[in-house]
A = this chain, B = another copy of it.
Amino acid sequence: MSTASAFNPPPRILMGPGPSGANPRVIRAMGAPLLGHLDPEFLRIMDQCRDMLRRVMRTSNQVTLATPGTGTSGMEAAVMNLVEPGDNAVIGVCGYFGERVAQMAERAGGTVTRVSAPWGSPVSPGAFAGAVREAGKVKLAGIVHAETSTGVQTPVEPFAAIARDAGALLLVDCVTSLGGVPVEVDRWGADAVYSGTQKCLSAPPGVAPITFSERAWSAVRARETPCNSWYLDMSLLEAYWDERRAYHHTAPISMIYALHEALALVLEEGMEARWARHERNGRALQAGLEAMGLTLHAQEGYRLPVLTTVRIPDGVNDAEVRGALLRRNGIEIGGGLGELKGRVWRVGLMGESSTAGNVLLFLSALGRILREQGFRADVRGAVSAAESRLAGD
């Protein structure tokens, strides 16, 4: 009784690093009748998801599916299936998630070279190329397209060229970019790309889109040892997602429903229009934060529009500000991860959460709270700068 009546999650404005808000159509989809995981009607829904995933990821890869876990399960599937014991992997690390990729490659038995950059800058292609040359035969070159811990966007093309020249497979983490900024799997020539649903695709967390190129798939088929993971073994997952329909796991039915509707919404909005919306709102937020007197953390020219890191001013209490935003305004933003803990806030404008209203409300709310904390925030200047950018002045 007490446990049941206690279940009453309050509404929030989700402007952290994910989950983002979900469209009512996505939420409603989860209320549809449950189907069995081998029901012909469910298989049809899976096929539609697969087609839509290819369109959203801009790829014609056969092996395109959703792993049965949150975004990190996509990362683990990509790394564990492509790295065998003794393989060389070169991983770009300019934040928490690049380091996670590197750790997974080590657990897969790989010999990992990290190419590091300060948390707030992208990895240098020159340094990366040097590391690839030195590492000898490289099986996997990995980078994070949108580093959720720092708000940095790394241009993929130079790394794709380096990987191609070295005959290495290119892994690109697109957890925070897919559906918000251009992800062009085939044009890049990326070999393994994964994402999450709870960022710019704006579905609840629970499944992870992933795609493997023909080259990556050949590497999977040529493995001498089975993948470390049974649950995330791509050969077994693909045998369920393709026409073989071989039982592997009981698919997370309701999450696939949510994914289906989220992808349909992305395609109905149109990829270009969606990217433009994220760009416009993100730049307006950033203009507003700077006009307020705050300092953006990510290096200029490499700032993600969908996730902004802003430095916490001296003398301002991190937890108090985030607590006040949540309590008074129902707004969630994220704190810093790893070495940025206590130093930055992470403000997401992803998917359904990327709206002009959220930009303006957040600037106003944050500015007022900062003033109480003794920071002389220029609230009017911030709102005005953002409003101007939103209107396209």
Chain A interface (Cβ < 8 Å from any Cβ of B): 1, 3-4, 6-12, 14, 16, 18-19, 21-22, 27-37, 39-42, 44-45, 48, 51-52, 68-73, 75-76, 80, 100, 103-104, 107, 196, 198, 204-206, 226-232, 247-255, 257-258, 260-261, 263-264, 267-268, 326, 332, 334, 337
**Min CB distance, A308 to chain B, in Å?**
17
Contact, CB under 8 Å: A253 / B10 = no
Residues of chain B lying within 8 A (CB to CB) of residue A51 = 3
Contact, CB under 8 Å: A12 / B30 = no
* 9 residue pairs A–B, Cβ–Cβ below 8 Å: A3-B263, A6-B44, A22-B34, A39-B326, A68-B206, A76-B230, A76-B231, A229-B231, A254-B255
- Complex Cα gap A28–B41 (Å): 22
Residue of A21, A41, A51, A250 with highest tally of chain B CB at under 10 A:
A250
Q: A7-B264, A254-B206, A260-B7 are in contact. Are A69 and B231 (CB under 8 A)?
A: yes
Contact, CB under 8 Å: B268 / A4 = yes
Q: Which of B11, B19, B103, B255 contacts A37 (CB 8 A)?
A: B19
Q: A48-B3, A252-B70 are in contact. Are A27 and B31 (CB under 8 A)?
A: yes
**Min CB distance, A352 to chain B, in Å?**
10
**Min CB distance, A205 to chain B, in Å?**
4
Q: Which of B11, B37, B76, B230 contacts A107 (CB 8 A)?
A: B230
Q: A72-B231, A252-B206 are in contact. Are A257 and B7 (CB under 8 A)?
A: yes
Q: Which of B12, B40, B73, B258 contacts A68 (CB 8 A)?
A: B73
- Complex Cα gap A332–B36 (Å): 7
Contact, CB under 8 Å: B37 / A3 = no
Q: A3-B48, A7-B29 are in contact. Are A107 and B204 (CB under 8 A)?
A: no
Q: Which of B12, B33, B34, B261 contacts A34 (CB 8 A)?
A: B12
Contact, CB under 8 Å: B10 / A71 = no
